[in-house]
Amino acid sequence: MLDAEHLPLLSQTQRPDFDSASSIELPINTPEFGLEVIPPVCYFGARKAPVDIDKKVFENVKIKNNSDKKKKVKFYLPSDNERFTMEISDEEIAVKSGEEEQVTIYITLLCTTKIDVTFPIVIDNGTHSLMRICVESGLSTKLDYDEIEIQEMLGEGAFGAVFKGMWRGTAVAVKDFRTPVLDATVSKDVLHEIALLERLRSPYIVTFYGMVMSSKHNCIVMELAPMGSLASVLTKHRLTYNLKVKIALDCAKGMMFLHCNHVLHRDLKTDNLLVMSLDLESPQRIKITDFGTSRMITDEAARSYTHTVGTPIYTSPEILNNEPYSEKADVYSYGILLWSLYMQLVPYQDEFKNNFAIIKHVLGGNRPRLPPNMPPAYQDVMERSWTHNQTQRPSFSDVINMLDVIDSEVNCESTY
């Protein structure tokens, strides 16, 4: 019998009782059914090429009456507002004996999906048969939530949680916003993050697979980092100085890519660096993630940014002081990150009672305490990055040049 979820939302007076004894289901295109449906399966051209999403396509269907009586025929299209919408030129037709009529069925795929459903064709005496819809979309960044397998939770935040998952045979991270109804501010940030992720393609930026934005689900699907965040790794592994320099280089390269594409991250910290590998020979050890607070850089915007964003211990003095800021605010955050990476500690941990005390400390020109054994060249990059005057901070291109020299020297030393 029919699966009720494949029937449209009709009133009880409209919906036939397909479970009653008076309703008989017959195979399509058989003498007993009396109608010949051509074609019995609608592919909408997908057998030749996948169908583009958000594009209305159609299939012409002929209904031929092989019986000796006139028949009224009614179509009950499937309904799935999350994956597709369907229309038909005529919901009900009358076909004379020995003649045929044509209807046109339209479908619009709303996400990357595979559809294989049936729907009933009902004739006036209550007899019905099933017609099949079989269509596959092309790839897009709009995903079908039913194809995402949610597994264990990896982390939790104010607006949702991140889960390990599988999508079409690929291990992924799923940033699930839990509730399908986001408030206006959060929804704007989510859509902004998606818009950035769709455009950002770099070996040092986490890969964006797609998103689900519907009345039932809101989530972002991204590349899975097998080792989690750098913040987590720093608490579990003792890293060599050589590896720390390479991680710092990876981060600087990712940040240079962002700045070259006029993007401020605005929340650069160890929590937002995902660790792909701790192998010195790996192409990349970390990738940058979390662009929820990122913004495009323009001259006008740089003069007008006055809202405090990011995490206080990584936030630049100019932002803390509600002053205009530029991409050099990210460079300051990077300087604090270099301290945390080298020390494998959280900056200012157990030194202050609250964030207000940290802010007062930073605005006074103070920074995290320096250890006596930090390599001078590394310390120089760090201190230049977190200098109080943003105009005196280096660009990430400058940072990369300085770290390349350090990396070469460390590599030479390790060979002896």
Residue 416 falls inside a structural domain: no
Q: Is 68 a catalytic residue?
A: no
What pTM does this model have?
A: 0.79
- State pLDDT tens for residues 52-75: 999 999 999 999 999 888 999 999
* Residues 6 or more apart in contact with residue 256 via CB below 8 angstroms: 395, 396, 397, 399, 400
At residue 8, the pLDDT reads 38
Residue range 270-285: mean pLDDT, rounded: 94
Give strand pairing partners of 73.
Answer: 93, 123
Determine the Cα–Cα distance for residues 406 and 354; give it in Å rounded to an integer. 36
Which CATH number covers residue 165? Answer: 3.30.200.20
Peptide bond into 39 cis (omega under 30): yes
pLDDT averaged over every residue in the chain:
86
**Domain boundary pick from 190, 223, 256:** 223
Residues 218, 234, single domain; the answer is no
pLDDT category at 296 given cuts 50, 70, 90 is: low
Scanning 106-210, the segments in alpha helix (DSSP H) are: 184-199
* Residues 6 or more apart in contact with residue 341 via CB below 8 angstroms: 230, 234, 239, 244, 247, 248, 270
**Domain boundary pick from 103, 136, 169:** 136
Cβ-in-10-Å burial (0-12, 13-18, 19+) of 224 comes to buried
Q: Is 21 helix (H, G, I), strand (E, B) or coil?
A: coil
Range of the domain at 109: 4-136
- Residue 273 vs residue 183, higher pLDDT: 273
Instruction: Give 272-328 as a DSSP string.
Output: GEEE----TTSS-SEEE---TT-EE--HHHHHH--S--S-GGG--HHHHTT----TH
Which CATH number covers residue 128? Answer: 2.60.40.10
Contact 76, 122 (CB under 8 A): yes
pLDDT reading at 183 higher than 70? no
The count of domains in the chain is 3
Residues 217, 349, single domain; the answer is no
**Domain boundary pick from 223, 257, 285:** 223
Determine the Cα–Cα distance for residues 164 and 99; give it in Å rounded to an integer. 57
DSSP 229: B
Residues 209, 249, single domain; the answer is no
Determine the Cα–Cα distance for residues 85 and 95; give it in Å rounded to an integer. 26
Give strand pairing partners of 16.
Answer: none
- Residue 47 vs residue 331, higher pLDDT: 331
Percent of all residues in the chain with a pLDDT value above 70, rounded to a whole number: 85
Contact 190, 182 (CB under 8 A): yes
Select which of 176, 250, 267, 330 is catalytic: 267
Residues 17, 128, single domain; the answer is yes
Determine the Cα–Cα distance for residues 392 and 328; give it in Å rounded to an integer. 9
Q: Is 103 helix (H, G, I), strand (E, B) or coil?
A: strand
pLDDT reading at 11 higher than 90? no
Which of 208, 90, 80 shows the shortest CA–CA distance to 144?
A: 80
Determine the Cα–Cα distance for residues 282 and 302; give it in Å rounded to an integer. 36
Winning range, highest mean pLDDT, from 11-20, 125-134, 192-201, 391-400: 391-400
pLDDT category at 300 given cuts 50, 70, 90 is: low
